[in-house]
Structure formats: structure tokens, C-alpha cells
Amino acid sequence: MKNNEPIQKTMEELRNELEELRHQLDEANETIDAIRTGQIDALVVEGKDGHQLYTLKTADHTYRVFIEKMSEGAVTVNHEGIILYSNSQFARMINMPLNGIIGLPFEKFVVPENKTIYSVLFNESWKSDGKGEVSLISGNNITPVQLSLTTLELQEGVSLSIIITDLTSQKATQKKLRDNFEQLEQANQALEISNHDLQQFASVASHDLQEPLRKIQVFSNLLKEKQKELTVDSERYLDKIIESASRMKNLIIDILNYSRLSADDHKLECVDLSEVVKELMVDFELMIQDKNAVIQVGKLPCLYVNRGQVRQVFQNIISNALKFSKPGNSSRISINSTRISEKSFNSPLQEDGPYCLIRIRDNGIGFNEKYLASIFALFERLHSKDKYEGTGIGMAIAKKIIDKHNGLITAVSHEGEGAEFRIILPIDQKDV
Amino acid sequence: MFPKKLLLAEDDEDDKQLFHDFLHHRSDLLLMPAAENGVALLETLDNIRDAKDLPDFIILDQNMPRKNGLQTLELLKSNKRYTHIPVMVYSSYADQHLVKTCSEKGASAVCSKPITYKEYNDMIENFLGTIIHNQTNRQGF
């Protein structure tokens, strides 16, 4: 027992000592925490020579908060490249506890193949600020980062501060962008090729289709001249062949014209639409007389467009208006235009607006608006071809031309109450 | 007036026959034996020794093997011996593009191939009319 007492005492002392140390550690931790979060500017430490006041050179409140809270890693290294300070973000970046980092050379975290880049950067940056990209070892992963190095004058001497920006997401975004761009490029190329092929096909097919078709026409006509040898039925069948062949010829020509619109022959010039309409009235003279039609033309603008193409649009719409007139009714067509401020059918009027809205109105048979989309589709016909001739391409051509001119086209109608085609075109294509 | 000598280059047998059938009766035309294509037409011309035996005008089919109408036209117009001969190009389908390029290369007329007897004869009359018109214009009256 006698021997046990001092041991017991020692145990007691040790316990107290441990308690004291724990307290000190807690205090130290608190202090460090306080320093880290910027609550302390200076501290007093009890040493052998009494109390000593340590002011923190880097104790600037905002600065420390900034360093600790920022999303970049921040370390300070000495001339040997040994880490003197690290913020917790850097610790997270390299996946190590903060206390294990201090005292290690920064170079240790740089991947072997980037060590030369780093050492050059490290040496240069003592003279002037440096920047560079390296990869850091982060546990089992590699993290691409940007390093920004700059010298820092501390009380202990000059050290180097390194700001480490994680480039992982930036690199990923860059890669994704690159990949997307590549995909887009490929898709574009494929599209261009298929577009070109399609045009080629349409053009060749149409040209080559014309030859045998013409033969059908030639020989049917020759046969028809031998009327005396034909029965009434044979002549009727022959007329059907001639009619169909002529219809097919129109179809082929329309397809050819449609496919040619895709070709890049977009020559623009200043075109007076009044002139275009005047010309068309002459072209349609017979049909106008035939339908007893009256065409009223208001003031039309001069537009910067492809003359032939825009003429085609007006030709197709006017021809439709004449074609789809009410039987027994004299046909009335009006063509008017106004200037508007936006490329929208709801746009307000504006006297010097950048767009013009053209309305071509008729009093014909009209159509149900639920078929609006079909009107502008290729080969769609609302009426049987016996009643109204046509190939069903005219309006598709009109739409394609207006699209190419950065415009809009639509139609408003009710069955039996006429139709109004509305076109919006920019006054000057250069502004688009 | 002497009939005008007409030389045709046409590779299509049917069209060659139609051309002959519809036009050989005309007293104002002398149809020379048609050439198979542009190359054959140039050979025919080169083999004519006396310039007064050259055709008075030439009609070229556009769609021919070896040398098409346009290419043959260019060769004709670049040859001093033949450049004065009026040339018409005709095709199953004469689109604006063909009309424009042929006219630029010196064709007197460009048209789509006719279908009927009447159309064939109209085509010839129009062509002859154009040539006479051009010649009187050149002489300046």
C-alpha cells in the first residue's frame, strides 16, 4: 500500500495533467478556429519570458474569411516549396486532412508528368506572378487545376502564395462543348450531303423523267392524228393519256423548281413589288378575262429580295385566287401592304417599320382553316384534281421562298368566304 | 431562194426520225444527214472541204453522250470556220439555266423539244425568223 500511494497520486496528477492538456488543446483549437474565421487579430501567449503579444500579419479580418470561405484552394509555401499554410478547401481538393498537409512540399501533390511544369512555374513566380495548369493527385483521383502564384511578404520573410482553382467541371464542360460541337459538325455535314444528294436526285430524276415522258406525249399525239383509224373509246383513252402526261410534266417541272430553290443562288436586288404584280397581271390577262376578275392593287413596297423567287410567290397566290374562284361569281382580288414593327402577324403598325405585311385577298371558295398546314405542304391538295387543276406544289414553293427570305406566310379563310394570304417580309435582308 | 442547209446533232433515234418526218417536206430546208452526237457533228464539219457546203444553221440536242449541246456549242463558237453559223440548242426540258448559259455562249435560240408536228414547224420558223432578224440588224439596214 505504501508503495502504491505515490503511484495513485501520480495517476491523479496524470489525470489532471491530461485534463489540463485537453483544455489547452481545446483552447488552441478554438484559437485556431478563431484565427481561421477571422475573429482574432492578435493573441497573447504565455511563454517562459512572460506574456508575449503576437499580432497576425495576415490577420486582416476580411482577408482571412475570404481565404477560408473561397472555393479555391490557397496555400503558402516557402523557398523550399514547403507548405506553410493551407486553407481547408485545398485539403478537400487533395482529399487529405488539413493537419497532414502543413510541412509537406507542394510538389508532392503534383502528378509526375507535370512536375517540370510546376518547378518552372515555382521558380519563375518568385520574380513575377505566374499562372499554369497542372493535375494534382487527389487520393485515387487526378484533379486538373489552375495555379496562380504570387509572392507574399510575411513577417518571417517572403513566401509564395498559390491559389488553386479546380478545373474539373470547367474541363468537363469544355469537353462536352467540344463533343457537342463535333456531333453538330458531323450532323451538319451529313445534312449537307443528304441535301445536296436530294437536290441532285430531284434535278437528275426530273430531267431524265422528261425524256420518256415527252416520248409518250409525242407518240400519243401522233396516234391521235390517225383519228380515222380510232374508235370512239380508243380516242377517249388516248385523250386520258395525253392529259395525264401533261399533268405529269407540270409535276416534274414543279419538283424541279422546288428542288432548285434549295440551291444557293440567292441573288438579292431591290425589287418594286408593284412592278412584279403589274407584270403578272399581263401574264394572267386571259385568265382574268375568263374569270371576269377585278384585281385591285394598293401601294406596294420595294424590297431587297430575289426577284424571280418573289415573283413566283405572287404568281402562285394570284393564280390560286383566280383558280379557286366561286363558279358563276366574278372574282375579286385585292393586294395591299402595310409596314409593321415586328416579324409577327400580331405586330403593331409602324410607318417606317423594318417589316412589311402583304395581304392578298380573294372572294373565292376559301378553305377550312384546319387544313392550313396542308396548304403549305408539298403535294397536298385540298380539292380533287378533276375540279381544280394543279400539282399541289405551288404553295409549298411559296412558303419555301418566303422562309428563305426570312419572312412568314400564313392564310386566313372560312369555307365559302374567300381566303386571305398574309406574307411578312423584311424590307432589307441585311438587317435580318 | 435556195433551201437552207440544216445539220442536226441528235443521239436519240426516235427524235432523229421525228425531226426528219416532221420537217423533210419543207421546201425552204435541206436536211443534212444528222450527226450522232457533238463529236460526230464536228467531224462532219471538218470533213466538208468547201466552206460553201457548210450548213446554214445547226441544231444541237443538249443531252448527248461525249459532248453535250453546250460543250459542242462552245467548240463551234471558238472555231473561226464555224463561229458565224447560227446554232440552236434544244432539250427535253430547257430551263432558265440552260437558256441563260447557252445564250451567253452564243446560241441564237434555246428551246424545249417540240411534241407535235405543228410545234416542230413553229420551232423552225421561229429559229429562221430569229436568224433573219439578227442578220438584218447586223447589216443595220
Tell me the ipTM for this assembly: 0.81
Q: Which helix (H) or strand (E) holds A421?
A: strand A419-426
Give SS3 for A237: helix
Give the chain B residue nearest A252 (alpha carbons).
B93
Q: Any CB–CB contact under 8 A between A69 and chain B?
A: no
pLDDT for B140 equals 46
A157 pLDDT band, cuts 50/70/90, is confident
pLDDT for A15 equals 82
B91 pLDDT band, cuts 50/70/90, is very high
Q: What is the pLDDT of residues A301-350, one digit of tens each?
A: 999 888 888 988 999 999 888 888 888 888 899 999 999 999 999 999 88
Q: What is the pLDDT of residues A362-398, one digit of tens each?
A: 998 888 888 888 788 776 666 665 555 566 778 888 9
Asked if residue A14 has pLDDT above 90, the reply is: no
**Torsions phi, psi of A414, nearest 5?**
-130, 145
Per cent of chain A over pLDDT 70 is 85
B141 pLDDT band, cuts 50/70/90, is very low
Distance CA A71, CA A330 (A): 79
Give SS3 for A302: strand
Asked if residue A170 has pLDDT above 70, the reply is: yes
Of residues B13 and A370, more confidence is placed in B13
pLDDT for A139 equals 84
Distance CA A376, CA A349 (A): 26
Give the chain A residue nearest B117 (alpha carbons).
A222
User: A382-396, B47-61, B68-82 — which is least confidently predicted?
Assistant: A382-396
User: A42-56, A312-326, A350-364, B41-55 — which is least confidently predicted?
Assistant: A42-56
pLDDT for B33 equals 94
Q: What is the pLDDT of residues A204-246, one digit of tens each?
A: 777 788 889 999 999 999 999 888 888 889 999 999 899 889 8
Q: Show residues of chain B in contact with A210, CB under 8 Å.
A: 92-93
Q: Any CB–CB contact under 8 A between A221 and chain B?
A: yes
Determine contact, residues A338/A395, Cβ cutoff 8 Å. no
Q: What is the mean pLDDT of residues A83-89?
A: 88
Determine contact, residues B88/B114, Cβ cutoff 8 Å. no
- Cβ neighbours, 10 Å, residue A154: 15
**Residues of B numbered 58-117 whose beta carbons fall under 8 angstroms of chain A's beta carbons: which are they?**
63, 92-93, 95-96, 113, 115-117
**Torsions phi, psi of A286, nearest 5?**
-65, -45
- Cβ neighbours, 10 Å, residue B24: 10
Contacts A–B by Cβ distance under 8 A: 26
Asked if residue A292 has pLDDT above 90, the reply is: no
Distance CA A340, CA A246 (A): 43
CB contact under 8 Å between A214 and B117, yes or no, is no
Q: What is the mean pLDDT of residues A399-410?
A: 91
pLDDT for A369 equals 84
Q: What is the pLDDT of residues A354-364, one digit of tens each?
A: 999 999 999 98
Determine contact, residues A281/A311, Cβ cutoff 8 Å. no
Of residues A224 and A37, more confidence is placed in A224
